[in-house]
Amino acid sequence: MRSTAPAGSMAATGVVPSFPIASRLAAKGSTILALLGALVIWLALLGPFAVLIKNLSFHSIRAALGPPGALEPLWVSLGASAIALGAMVLFGTPLAYLLARGRLPLARIVELGIILPLMLPPLVIGLLLIFLIGPEGTLGNLLADIHLTGVNTFFALIVAEFYEAAPFYVLGAHAAFASVDPRIEQDATLLGDRPLQAFWRITLPLAAPGLATGLATAWARAMGAFGAVIIVAYYPRGLPNQIFIAFQEFGLSGALPFALLLVVAALPLPVLAYLWSARTRARVAGTETT
Amino acid sequence: MSAAPLPLLEVDLEVERRAVTVQAGFRLGAGQRLAIFGTSGAGKTTILESIAGLTRLSRGNVRIGGRLVAGKLAGETALAPRDRQVALVRQPTTLFPHLTVEQNVAYGVRQSPARGHIADLLERLGLTVLARERGAALSGGQRQRVALGRALASPFRVLLLDEPLSAVDVAAREALRLLTIETSIERGAAGILVTHDLAEAQAFGGQLGIIDDGRLLQIGGAHQVVVSPSSRRVAELVGYGGFIPVPLTAGRWHAIHPDRVLLGARPERGLVLTGPVVSTRPYGARYECVVSDRSGEQFTIHLDQAPGAGEVCTLTALDPPVVEA
């Protein structure tokens, strides 16, 4: 038994020298190329952040955000985005689940309806929303009955943000649910769970990392929604509008403090969600290799 | 006028699959077991999933304790999955990856008294040290133990096992097999095992069913099916290594089983065959030889000593069954 071991290791070492040097160089070259590419993309994506930090002075921030009421757009954006996000979770989660399980009739058409707002330029969405929920619109008439109007109101802001951001959540949630093996949901019901129990105990925890990523993306889109918003909800003024107006009135130096405010307000949730979901994924699946 | 007690599990089903149409019909009483043996792709898994009520049947139905589980009948709605009391062990295993081994095993246990048994069960499954590990961190054999434990801990009346021990070390299989059979009998459950390993199917200790191309070809005693196969195809599947045409009749053969041969001519014990050895190779502690009959038909046999190639030997096939196409 012992005598076979050296023979085996000799055979193994015999393979390495015969490995062509040219292909080893090629492997090294492609590694360098990949690292270079990663660096370029990283710089291109993160460059604007560096510029933002570099061009801001404490003085200009205080001048812009110091006056009373200057933070009002922040509260408007946070409030509207939170409500839009709540609506997405409430309506989008069941929709995404049914889509992922193929339980919806005309699923392809439904999916297309979700993707369409992504394809349309936000400005166009804004114009179409005026027809839909504006005072002259079909739904607008109904809304008027409950004293709501879809133009230049907080409600209009929420709707515009919803249109721009909801597809990101629904598509993310769809992918998250689709990644959960339907057979293990079946197993849970055979083991005594009601369908809703199985969803809580099995599907939701397993889909949570993907749901969090979708939610974070949608939050960032809602906070930053501008194209549709500026058409249907010039007032009340949210942060993106405020940036645009400050830019027009005072130029770059006037707009940058608000840009910083938007980044600071919109970014923590996505970053936290990303870190949490990466950790959870590693805990559930990453250990598979060991 | 007293009616005979209803069988616990009644199966009469047909399922369309892309490659095959799977058909099965049988009944099992409380405490009875059936092992279904067949090649992969024969429809074994489909039968189990259909019995669990997870597959749409194209015809027929499945009943557990008289209640409809799968299929359509006017005026009858199928039991909800949670009320079926079916425990299913799938292949490949489907654990809950975010839960620990202990949480997986205890998943189907609702009453707190039964939870006390979980520790014992983990011990018998050899999982005590892994109790706090998550499903994804386990090896294939460990995963199978957890899946088996999860099924055995739940309050089942029908136990469905799809190759449950295929990745478990051979040394540990016997204990797990015993645990499975014991639990199944204790609960008065009906048990079905599907496997492509004949020895595993026979070890399940109940009836043996042979499935091929979606059809259950034969069901009978675990030994009886092997010694008297109902057709040539069944004989091939259960390991017969040669078919010698019965003289003067077309489409009938003496089926030669490799393990049921003696060296030498013993005409009172079966069919005497003579011919040259074509090839010999080691087979466990014995030898596997291919022998050519006078008629030119080749058959495989297992012998204790190795005859040389070309050597002419005389053998007796013990009571070879006669099979038809």
Count up the domains in chain A and report the number.
2
Fold of the domain spanning B9-227: Rossmann fold (3.40.50)
Amino acid at B208: L
Position A58 in a domain = no
> Same structural domain for residues A138 and A168?
yes
Residues of A in contact with B54 (CB under 8 A): 186
Task: Among A183, A285, A288, select the one facing B94 at the smallest CB separation.
Answer: A183
CA atoms of A98 and A170, how far apart (whole Å): 11
pLDDT at res. A47 = 86
Q: Tokens 């989008």, residue?
A: A92
Whether A57 is covered by a domain: the verdict is: no
Chain A CB contacts of B110 under 8 Å are 192
Tens digits of residue pLDDT in B71-97: 988 888 999 999 999 999 999 999 999
- The predicted-structure confidence for B186-219, as pLDDT tens digits, reads as follows 999 999 999 999 999 999 999 999 999 999 999 9
pLDDT of residue A19: 62
| Residue to test with chain A: of B48, B54, B79, most A Cβ within 10 A | B54
Residues of A in contact with B84 (CB under 8 A): 190
Residue A290, pLDDT above cutoff 90:
no
Domain containing A29: what range?
A: 16-51
Comparing A2-6, A122-126, B172-176, which segment has the lowest mean pLDDT?
A2-6
| pLDDT, mean over chain A | 87
Q: Which two tokens stand for residue B202?
A: 């026979």
Grouping H, G, I as helix, E, B as strand and the rest as coil, residue B284 is coil
DSSP 8-state code for residue A266: H
pLDDT digits 0-9 by tens, A104-129: 889 889 999 999 989 999 999 999 99
Chain A residues with CB within 8 Å of chain B CB: 181, 183-184, 186-194, 202, 205-206, 283-285, 287-288, 290
Residue A63 forms part of a structural domain: no
* DSSP state for residue B38 in the 8-state scheme: -
Q: Residue B98 is nearest to which of A189, A284, A288, comparing CB atoms?
A: A284
A206 interaction partners in chain B (CB closer than 8 Å)? 97-98
Cβ-Cβ contacts under 8 Å, A202 against chain B: 96
Contact B96 A287 (CB under 8 A): no
Do A141 and A236 share a domain, yes or no? yes
**Residue B222: band (very low, low, confident or very high) from pLDDT cuts 50, 70, 90:** very high
ipTM: 0.90
Is the confidence at residue A8, as pLDDT, over 50? Answer: no
Residues of chain B found within 8 Å of residue A284, distances taken between Cβ atoms: 97-98, 134, 136
User: What's the rounded mean pLDDT across residues B114-123?
Assistant: 85
Which residues in chain A are closer than 8 Å to B137, comparing Cβ atoms? 287-288, 290
Among the partner residues A186, A191, A206, nearest to B154 by beta-carbon distance: A191
Domain for residue A85, yes or no?
yes
Helix boundaries (H) for B204-273 = 224-227, 232-237
Is the dihedral angle over the CA atoms A219, A223, A224, A230 positive or is it negative? positive
SS3 sequence of B72-126: CECCECCCCHHHCCEEEECCCCCCCCCCEHHHHHCCCCCCHHHHHHHHHHHHHCC
Token code pair at residue B144: 């199978």
Residue spans of alpha helices (H) in B126-248: 140-153, 170-186, 198-203, 224-227, 232-237
Q: What's the mean per-residue pLDDT of chain B? A: 93
Q: Do residues A20 and A158 share a domain? A: no
- Neighbouring-strand partners of residue B61: B12, B71
**Coil, strand or helix: which one is B290?**
strand
User: Residue A236, preceding bond cis, omega within 30 degrees?
Assistant: yes
- Contact yes or no for B110 and A192 at CB 8 A: yes
pTM across the whole model? 0.86
- Joined together, the tokens standing for residue B197 give 């390993």
pLDDT digits (tens, 9 = 90+) for B41-62: 899 999 999 999 999 999 999 9
**Of the partner residues B88, B108, B134, the one whose CB lies closest to the CB of residue A192:** B108
Domain residue spans of chain B: 9-227, 240-324
Examine residue A74 and state whether it is found in any structural domain, yes or no: yes
Contact of B52 with chain A, judged by CB distance below 8 Å, is answered with: yes
Q: Give per-residue pLDDT as tens, A266-282.
A: 999 889 998 998 888 88
Contacts of B80 in chain A (CB under 8 A): 189, 194
Chain A residue with minimum CA distance to B147: A187
Task: Output the pLDDT for position B198.
Answer: 96
Same domain assignment for residues A36 and A97:
no
Instruction: Look at B84 and A285 and tell me if their CB atoms are within 8 Å.
Output: no
Same domain assignment for residues A99 and A20: no
Query: Six-digit token pair at A50?
Result: 């560096």
- Which CATH code of 2.60.40.10, 1.10.20.60, 2.40.50.140, 3.40.30.10 fits the domain covering B240-324? 2.40.50.140
Peptide bond into A17 cis (omega under 30): no
Q: Which of B98, B99, B162 to mutate to test the interface with A (most CBs of A within 10 A)?
A: B98
Same domain, residue pair A108 and A226: yes
With a cut of 90, say whether residue B68 has pLDDT above it. Answer: yes
Per-residue b or e along A216-246, where b marks 16 or more CB atoms closer than 10 Å to that residue's CB: bbbbbbbbbbbbbbbbbbbebbbbbbbbbbb
Taking the mean position of all CA atoms in its chain, how far away is CA B48?
12
Inter-chain residue contact B87 with A190, CB threshold 8 Å: yes
Contact present, B291 and B241 (Cβ < 8 Å): no
Among residues B220, B202, B140, the alpha carbon closest in space to that of B172 is found at B140
Residue A275 to residue B147: CA distance in whole angstroms: 32
Non-local (6+) Cβ contacts of B71 within 8 A are B13, B57, B59, B60, B61, B62, B78
Q: Do B137 and A287 touch (CB under 8 A)?
A: yes
Q: Which of residues 258-317 of B touch A (CB under 8 A)?
A: none
B63, amino acid identity: R
In a shared domain, residues A147 and A229? yes
Q: Are A193 and B82 a contacting pair at CB < 8 A?
A: yes
Instruction: Look at B107 and A188 and tell me if their CB atoms are within 8 Å.
Output: yes
- Dump pLDDT digits (tens) for A216-245: 999 999 999 999 999 999 989 999 999 999
C-beta separation of B179 from B149 below 8 A = no
Beta-bridge partner residues of B292? B298
Check whether A12 has a pLDDT greater than 50: no
Tell me the pLDDT tens digit for each residue of A13-54: 444 455 678 788 888 888 999 999 999 988 888 888 888 888
Residues A159 and A34 occupy one common structural domain:
no
Residues in chain A with CB shorter than 8 Å from the CB of B104 are: none
CA torsion, points B131, B133, B138, B144, in degrees to nearest 10?
Answer: 30
Residue of B nearest to A182 (CA): B94
Instruction: Using a CB–CB cutoff of 8 Å, tell me whether B81 touches chain A.
Output: yes
Which range among A57-66, A124-133, A183-192, B106-115 shows the weakest confidence by mean pLDDT?
Answer: B106-115
Q: What residues of B are in contact with residue A209 (Cβ under 8 Å)?
A: none
Cβ under 8 Å to A: B residues 148-167: 150, 154-155
Partners of residue A283 in chain B, C-beta under 8 Å: 134
Q: Quick one: A159 and A39 in the same domain?
A: no
CATH number of the domain at A130, please: 1.10.3720.10
pLDDT band at residue B275, thresholds of 50, 70 and 90?
Answer: very high
- In this complex, the residue of A186, A188, A206 whose CB is nearest that of residue B97 is A206
Write out pLDDT tens, residues A152-190.
999 999 999 999 999 999 999 999 999 999 999 999 999
Amino acid found at B256:
I
Query: A194 and B52 in contact by Cβ < 8 A?
Result: no
Task: State the nearest Cα–Cα gap between B193 and chain A, in angstroms.
Answer: 17
The per-residue DSSP string of A14-81 comes to HHTTTS-HHHHHHHHHHHHHHHHHHHHHHHHHHHHHHHHHHT--HHHHHHHH-STTTTHHHHHHHHHH
Alpha carbons B237 and B319: distance in angstroms, whole number: 19
Q: Determine, yes or no, domain membership for A2.
A: no
- The CA distance from A74 to A269, in Å, is 15
Chain B closest-CA separation from residue A165 CA (Å): 30
Q: How confident is the model at residue B117 (pLDDT cuts 50, 70, 90)?
A: confident
Q: Is the pLDDT score of B259 beyond 90? A: yes
